Structure 1
């Protein structure tokens, strides 16, 4: 039991050190009052942005191609989604776009430029007829895959 406690303290110390080393800009959503409320409701703070930046370097970037392929493998389960993609783009083109999107999500910057890009993506999805349920389902699958990789990474470091 004491070994577990020492290990937990050591892990906490490493995490604290990494967080202290990461610099991020403060969250800046400008005049978007709804976004300010969403950030407040989700308890997103500067430390959370630092964590995203650390995850990008240690987890997302090294595995980004796998994560993106997994995302589109999940999309392929839906003929409706494949039809929307083929009518407006291609999976290969969208994979390149998703890589950029993920890198930006984990860059540690939430500002007007970041928000404007997300609004553009959202408007495009509405314009092509992508229902929210499909968007949410696809990103839930991506989130679960990131969680799996995070757990695997942590367990590998313990070995």
Structure 2
């Protein structure tokens, strides 16, 4: 297991890191789950920047990522990435989820961030099976860290105990 990865159970809006990743929807204008929590806790500055990004480029495609201020959050930035909706695995969901993690990490490095916190992307309302999502997340992040030394710590923040248990099990098997 990569020593720069760790897993905690908690609220991602309370984590002190350089960048918090938001499991956003393509509109970038907030929503439910992690997305809503980040927008509520971070305040209007995040939404204002998301509106500017949307005005320039339109919606954010699945697998892509954009960066904004963190507003009132205990971070410098929020990276918004749009995870795939689970369709049984036949619509490139695994590759799209990998892209979420890779594109978020690339943006973090580009902005000189050393610490990053990820939620469990796509495992809520988007229905991605938690075990499969954990495998993709950990494998993708571990692979990225092997070739990039700029990121000093990756924290997987699991809001619920079920995801926390799945991630712990997955890390032990690596």
Please state which band the TM-score falls in when normalised by the shorter chain. Answer: under 0.3
Instruction: Report which of the two has the higher share of strand.
Output: 2
> Taking structure 2 as the reference length, what is the TM-score of the superposition?
0.26
Instruction: Report which of the two has the higher share of helix.
Output: 1
Bigger-Rg structure (1/2): 1
